[in-house]
Copies of this chain bind each other. A is one copy, B any other.
Amino acid sequence: MIAVLPLEGIPEIEEGDDLAALLEEGAARHGGLQARDVLVVAQKAVSKAEGRVVVLEEIEPSDAAREHAGEGDPRHVEVILRETARVVRSRPPLVIAETRHGFVCASAGVDSSNAPGSGTVVLLPADPDASARSLHERLGVAVIVSDSFGRPFRQGTTDVAIGVAGLAPLLDYRGTRDRVGYELKTTQIAVADEIAGAAELVMGKTDGIPAAIVRGLALEGDGTARDLLMPPDRDLFR
């Protein structure tokens, strides 16, 4: 069995906070972090600790942003465009963007909910894998930085891994055999995304729970969230 344990009682994160220390305190009521735990931390907590917050008043929107914004806030759209490497789809004011990291998501991950004040927006971490790696090195457990992404074809968001350290995000069954001896040729499971989604179930969106422990997995290896990006030559939806 696995257990998914919410880290409660962590205060609202602010720039410069020692996130690793706060997470460790939050884990104390679950007996502290244990060797094979996976610690899932919401992107917004990481971004806030790293100061990835933009004050809209200080943003001068470009013509492109004004044009795209329609009835939305052109300064918000300007921030989105600055985080965007490639616009994948757009239906104003919605932008589906490929971020500079290579993630395809709404608004290039720029979000105004749970931002530290009205008139601010929160960006994705500059390097979520590095953020995860830093927490992993401090805390000694596998770490996933998670964010809520929409998906083509399906309604609603699910949390996925945008930063990974200390576990292999893909579980590779290629070459193994099923119960009846059939060789699994193409099966790779995005376990890091499934773990991020499981953690979301206890974190919620309005409860101020920025992290969860997923305990009881026996995963091996190492890797980064880049392993989860579809290479352009295999991407049928570019």
Contact = CB atoms under 8 A, between A and B. Distances in A.
B154 A236 contact: no
Interface stretch (A19-27, A107-115, A137-145): A107-115
A152 to B, nearest CB: 4
Given A4-B198, A236-B96, A206 B173 contact: yes
Contacts of A176: 205-206
Nearest to A105: B153
B153 A104 contact: yes
- Chain A interface residue number, banded: 35 or more
Contacts of A117: 180
Interface of A: 1-6, 12, 89, 91, 94, 96, 103-104, 112-118, 148, 151-160, 169-171, 173, 176-182, 184, 187-191, 193-195, 197-198, 200-202, 205-206, 208, 217, 227-230, 235-237
A151 B160 CA distance: 12
Contacts of A114: 178-180, 182
Contacts of A169: 156
Given A113-B178, A189-B156, A237-B89, A195 B201 contact: yes
Contacts of A182: 112-115, 118
Nearest to A116: B180
Interface centre among A5, A96, A156 (most CB of B within 10 A): A156
A86 B134 CA distance: 46
Nearest to A235: B153
